């Protein structure tokens, strides 16, 4: 297994752990955007909504929708999930920590790779 595919595998299993943690806290979790084709990343970048080098392209980022009683939670609840995510591995990054044009991407959970978060 290459280092790249090992990172993808580790990322996936960390997502599973996070999903179970979210559920244990009394929330529901749903899937947002996972894999992003390069052309979509380029469109988003031109719109100021992301990077054309997004880790979604590498299958090392996923957006999760966290809800309670069917209603999406606010930033403070996402912040708790972000802290739990980062505690799983030092390579894990949470979009709520981002600054600049992608600041406040609360639903974004990623694995640092190739100098990118």
This prediction's pTM: 0.94
Q: Give the pLDDT confidence score for residue 104 in this predicted structure.
A: 85
Q: Give the pLDDT confidence score for residue 91 in this predicted structure.
A: 97
Q: Give the pLDDT confidence score for residue 101 in this predicted structure.
A: 76
Q: Give the pLDDT confidence score for residue 83 in this predicted structure.
A: 98
SS3 category, 5: helix
Residues of the chain with pLDDT under 70: none
Q: Give the pLDDT confidence score for residue 100 in this predicted structure.
A: 81
CA distance 114 to 4: 10
Residue 54 CB neighbour total at 10 angstroms: 22
Domains and CATH numbers, the chain: 3-111 (3.30.1380.10)
SS3 category, 106: coil
């Amino acid at each position: 297994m290459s280092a790249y595919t090992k990172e993808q595998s580790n990322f996936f299993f960390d997502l599973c752990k996070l999903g179970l943690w979210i559920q244990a806290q009394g929330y529901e979790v749903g899937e947002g955007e996972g894999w992003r084709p390069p052309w979509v990343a380029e469109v988003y970048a031109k719109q100021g909504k992301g990077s054309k080098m997004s880790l979604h392209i590498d299958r090392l980022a996923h957006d999760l929708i966290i809800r309670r009683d069917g209603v999406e939670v606010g930033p403070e609840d996402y912040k708790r999930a972000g802290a739990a995510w980062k505690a799983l591995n030092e390579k894990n990054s949470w979009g709520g920590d981002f600054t600049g044009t992608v600041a406040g991407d609360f639903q974004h959970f990623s694995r640092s790779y190739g100098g990118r978060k």
